[in-house]
């Protein structure tokens, strides 16, 4: 059953990504042309790959191997955090009177999929305990992505998120503060994911009374 659910989730994610790509291209904006520069898009592409692998594993094994559980924990950290960050950006934009269009595909990628995959992490049987080194490792991708984005931004004149754009922040302190908060959210989400996996493992190891 969970193998089928992983296949369905991967399909929904793929459909949402394709719709969001063509929706962005139809707007003929620089943001639409830089679709694959978004952290959300990259992390959801990784989610599709991991879910397809997980579906195959669910059909042939009673439990997931440790390497897959670690990979899934990392990808879920990125997709869930990206969803939280997007919600904050939309909220902040509303406070500033800035219009942000959110098509159904964005709602799926940023809200529904992260919520469903987080729930699945709690309910899916066969997870192994995730080691604590996953927490600092989860920061490697957003740090690398941020470095590439800052290097690439001046040449294309565009940044995927406002707090990375020197033209939209008050100075280095605001940039450092918002970036630090973003990394802290990544670390917090990764910590919760690790805790849930380790608590479930301890619960299964207790003898029945």
Q: Please, what are the averages of pLDDT over each run of 10 residues along the chain (209 residues)?
A: 92 95 82 87 96 94 90 95 83 64 87 90 79 95 95 90 83 88 94 88 45
d(CA 59, CA 66): 16
Note whether residue 133 is domain-resident: yes
In a domain, 101, yes or no: yes
In this prediction, residue 126 carries a pLDDT of 64
Q: What is the DSSP string of the chain?
A: -HHHHHHHHHHHHHHHHHHHHHHHHHHTSHHHHTGGGSHHHHHHHHHHHHHHHHHHHHHH-SS--HHHHHHHHHHHHHHHHHHHHHHHHHHHHHHTT------HHHHIIIIIHHHHHHHHHHH-TTPPPPPTTHHHHHTHHHHHHHHHHHHHHHHHT--SSGGG-TTTSSSHHHHHHHHHHHHHHHHHHHHHHHHHHHHHHHHHHSPP-
Confidence at residue 201, expressed as pLDDT on a 0 to 100 scale: 56
Give domain status of residue 206, yes or no: no
Question: In total, how many domains does the chain have?
Answer: 1
Could you tell me the residue range of the domain that residue 92 belongs to? Answer: 2-200
The structure's pTM equals 0.88
Assess if residue 205 is contained within a domain: no
Say if 209 falls within a structural domain.
no
């Amino acid at each position: 059953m969970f193998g089928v659910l992983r296949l369905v989730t991967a399909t929904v994610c793929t459909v949402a990504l394709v719709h969001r790509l063509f929706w962005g291209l139809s707007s003929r904006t620089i943001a639409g042309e830089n679709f694959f520069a978004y952290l959300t898009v990259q992390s959801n592409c990784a989610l599709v790959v991991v879910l397809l692998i997980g579906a195959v594993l669910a059909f042939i094994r009673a439990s997931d191997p440790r390497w897959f559980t670690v990979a899934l924990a990392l990808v879920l950290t990125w997709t869930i955090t990206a969803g939280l960050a997007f919600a904050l950006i939309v909220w902040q934009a509303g406070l500033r009177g800035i219009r942000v269009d959110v098509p159904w595909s964005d709602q799926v990628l940023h809200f529904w999929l992260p919520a469903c995959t987080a729930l699945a992490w709690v309910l899916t049987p066969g997870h192994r305990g995730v080691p604590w080194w996953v927490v600092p490792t989860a920061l490697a991708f957003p740090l690398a992505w941020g470095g590439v984005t800052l290097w690439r931004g001046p040449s294309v004149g565009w940044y995927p998120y406002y707090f990375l754009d020197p033209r939209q922040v008050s100075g280095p302190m605001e940039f450092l503060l918002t970036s630090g908060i973003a990394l802290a959210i990544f670390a917090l989400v990764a910590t919760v994911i690790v805790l849930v996996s380790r608590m479930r493992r301890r619960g299964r190891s207790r003898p029945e009374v």
